[in-house]
A and B are shown apart, each in its own frame.
Chain A
Amino acid sequence: MPEAPAYYADGPEALIVSLAMRGDKSAFSELVRRRQPGVRNLFRRFSNSPELADDMAQRVFLKAWQRIRQLKHADRFGGWLKKIAVNEWIDYQRKHGGIATTELDDVQLEAPPVSTSEAIDLDAALAALPAPVRLCIVLSYHENLSHSEIAELTGIKLGTIKSHIRRGSELLRDLLKAYGGSV
């Protein structure tokens, strides 16, 4: 890929996005450089696996490059990228049985069985939550999205999201407490 002009690194994002929309690969690389920590961290919360997280994040950027000409407003790149990332994760979960294809809403919340000897961190505790609950919790706490934004992004009903976040938070607190966490 050609070397990016030095001023790309300091350019406003909307400008870099506009250049990428015109097929400038160097501009897109600059967007990857800027956005990669956010996308990779999001997938780390989702998956509890740095390797899988990086692979998923790469897929997201590949998809973003393929579809960037469809982006209507350059200044909405961040939200658009987040939507691709969440859809990619939901698709991945469906393919791997984490989220039932039929409905994201029906989830039985029970404390998952975990070994008490195991040191548990946030990602491991998140991994113990049912997939749709984890999705809502991560989008709420990690991405700071409102309930309605999560509903719009995931297609899950608003009431279900509220319930997932309330019960998921309780479960997460219990899991973290059980292992001597600070919560």
Chain B
Amino acid sequence: MNRDPALQALFDSAETELRDDAFTTAVEQRIDRRGKRVIAGRLAAVILLVTLEVLLESPLQQSLGVAAEILSTTLIPLDNEWLAFALSPINSIAGLIGLVLIGTQHLYRRMR
């Protein structure tokens, strides 16, 4: 690789010996602040979940039951018990949603 020696010398001389001063302390403080924010966020999420659980216990259970019923609905009815059992992970609305999600993720990665 051909590097211009004069430019290389200029870059080498521009490399200054930067003293640490307050830099490391600033990084440490940033890490601590970030850690505190993460803990506060998790705490808030737990409090929110507990509150929601208390407030919506009954309606939540009902809607979860309905959602589970819908998601497990068979797409294509199969007479053969073993075949129905083997294909149950994909032969349902949940399976279809899963496949769509995987496909979308795959497509997104290829587009990136």
Interface residues of A (CB under 8 A from B): 1, 25, 28-29, 32-33, 36-37, 40-41, 44-45, 54, 57-58, 61-62, 65-66, 121-123, 140-142, 146-147, 169, 172-173, 176, 181-183
Given A62-B34, A182-B6, A183-B6, CB of A141 within 8 Å of CB of B11: yes
- Interface SS of chain B: helix
Report yes or no: B17 in contact with A37, Cβ–Cβ below 8 A. yes
SS class, residues of chain A in contact with chain B? helix
Query: For window 18-39 of chain B, which residues contact chain A by CB distance below 8 Å?
Result: 18, 20, 23-24, 26-28, 30-32, 34
27 contacts between A and B (CB under 8 A): A1-B28, A1-B31, A29-B24, A29-B27, A33-B20, A36-B18, A36-B23, A36-B24, A40-B18, A41-B16, A57-B23, A58-B30, A62-B27, A62-B30, A62-B34, A122-B10, A122-B11, A122-B14, A140-B1, A141-B7, A141-B8, A141-B11, A146-B1, A169-B7, A181-B10, A182-B10, A183-B4
For the complex, is B15 an interface residue (Cβ under 8 Å from A)?
Answer: yes
Whether A37 lies near B18 (C-beta < 8 A) is yes
B contact residues, total (Cβ < 8 Å): 23
Tally of A-B residue pairs with Cβ under 8 A? 78
- Asked if A62 contacts B11 (CB within 8 A), the reply is no
Contacting residues, chain A, for B11 (C-beta < 8 A): 45, 122, 141-142
Tell me, rounded to whole Å, the shortest Cβ–Cβ distance linking A144 to chain B: 8
Q: A122-B14, A142-B11, A176-B10 are in contact. Are A32 and B24 (CB under 8 A)?
A: yes
- Interfacial chain B residues near A169, Cβ < 8 Å: 4, 7
Contact residues in A for B16 (Cβ distance below 8 Å): 37, 41, 44
